[in-house]
């Protein structure tokens, strides 16, 4: 069996996430305390109690989602003797790539929390609220070719690109609001449904270049070591273990496309993965995995019961 551990991205957050892990495992509580200390913020209290609008803020959601994922990883090791090295690969969706790197030991938890806090703030600063937009193109006719055609139509008005190639039937576009509105019209003409997303900024598009510049400075000073297992990078959909390449790819990721479908296809074929386990809050990536690689077993790991069953099944 070849295992790949997957780490969720923004949108998987919810009030109360991680509480069951903290209540059950001292090792999980240690992770939440480390993140609180690194940020000088009671993020764990915000995660447990809300309010939801504060947790949803990009600068809070990003480190919070990482904290839940790493609490689950720490508990797997401390309570059940399952180390990340049991996996063949790790991968994370957008901010989840940072969680994957921390889980694989390439980044410390404290540094990861601080980098994600800055990443969220920098992304918010990059584009004034209301000037950017994102939309999800969904439905059986939605594939990359349709999404690219819609983005091209939008680009006649302003910046508009494919931001997240999640899976067939679920592709996200991002850019200037007027351009995304035009792309939505084109997508509907081509037979897709289009849903504007309630996001605070247009992620993974060229408008994020100021945020990429900020992250380049921060990542230049970050200590990154070779991960215990290869990390499949969002922007290349291929495994990477070289610290300097990881540093460069994390900068490119801010403006670049999240090639999740390609990443999962590579893991299921070239990587010969037979089991996907989504570590952290929610089940979004588990659902995507089942659509992209239906022959590969997929499961979420976000409750104490999930961790116990997973460990027993290895």
Q: Which of 9, 232, 17 lies closest to 119, judged by CA?
A: 9
Catalytic residue among 44, 94, 263, 281, which?
94
Sheet holding 239-240, edge to edge: 239-240, 231-232, 89-92, 3-7, 275-279, 297-301
Please report which helix (H) or strand (E) contains residue 243, including its range.
helix 243-255
Catalytic residue among 69, 93, 204, 263, which?
204
Give the Å distances, CA to CA, from 129 to 123, 201, 208, 255: 11, 7, 13, 17
Based on the residue annotation, tell me whether 94 is a catalytic residue of this protein: yes
Based on the residue annotation, tell me whether 93 is a catalytic residue of this protein: no
User: Which residues are within 8 A (CB) of 282 and not within 5 positions of it... i.e. 6 or more apart?
Assistant: 8, 11, 12, 13, 14, 17, 300, 302
- Asked if 273 and 295 count as a contact pair (C-beta separation under 8 A), the reply is no
- Which tokens hold the place of 219? 């990542």
The residues facing 298 across adjacent strands are 276
Instruction: Give residue for tokens 């089940």.
Output: 283
- Asked if 57 and 200 count as a contact pair (C-beta separation under 8 A), the reply is yes
- Which tokens hold the place of 44? 């764990």
List, in sequence order, every beta strand (DSSP E) within 25-125: 89-92
Active-site amino acid positions: 94, 204
């Amino acid at each position: 069996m070849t295992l790949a551990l997957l780490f969720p991205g923004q949108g998987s957050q919810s009030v109360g996430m991680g509480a069951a892990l903290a209540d059950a495992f001292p090792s999980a509580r240690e992770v939440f305390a480390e993140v609180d200390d690194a940020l000088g913020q009671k993020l764990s209290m915000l995660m447990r109690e809300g309010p939801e609008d504060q947790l949803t803020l990009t600068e809070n959601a990003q480190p919070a989602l990482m904290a839940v994922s790493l609490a689950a990883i720490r508990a797997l090791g401390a309570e059940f003797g399952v180390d990340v090295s049991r996996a063949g690969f790790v991968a994370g969706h957008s901010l989840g790539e940072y969680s994957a790197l921390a889980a694989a030991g390439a980044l410390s938890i404290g540094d990861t929390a601080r980098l994600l806090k800055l990443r969220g703030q920098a992304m918010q600063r990059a584009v004034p609220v209301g000037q950017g937009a994102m939309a999800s193109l969904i439905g059986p006719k939605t594939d990359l070719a349709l999404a690219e055609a819609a983005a091209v139509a939008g680009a006649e008005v302003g910046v508009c690109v494919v931001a997240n190639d999640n899976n067939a039937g679920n592709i996200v576009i991002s850019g200037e609001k007027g351009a995304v509105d035009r792309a939505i019209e084109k997508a509907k003409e081509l037979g897709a449904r289009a849903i504007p997303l309630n996001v605070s900024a247009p992620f993974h598009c060229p408008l994020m270049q100021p945020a990429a510049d900020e992250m380049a400075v921060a990542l230049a000073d970050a200590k990154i070591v070779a991960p215990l297992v290869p990390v499949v990078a969002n922007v290349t959909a291929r495994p990477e273990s070289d610290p300097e390449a990881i540093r460069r790819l994390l900068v490119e990721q801010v403006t670049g496309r999240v090639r999740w479908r390609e990443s999962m296809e590579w893991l299921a074929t070239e990587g010969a993965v037979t089991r996907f386990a989504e570590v952290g809050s929610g089940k979004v990536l588990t659902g995507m995995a089942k659509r992209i690689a239906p022959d590969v077993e997929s499961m979420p790991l976000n409750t104490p019961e999930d961790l116990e069953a997973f460990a027993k099944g290895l």
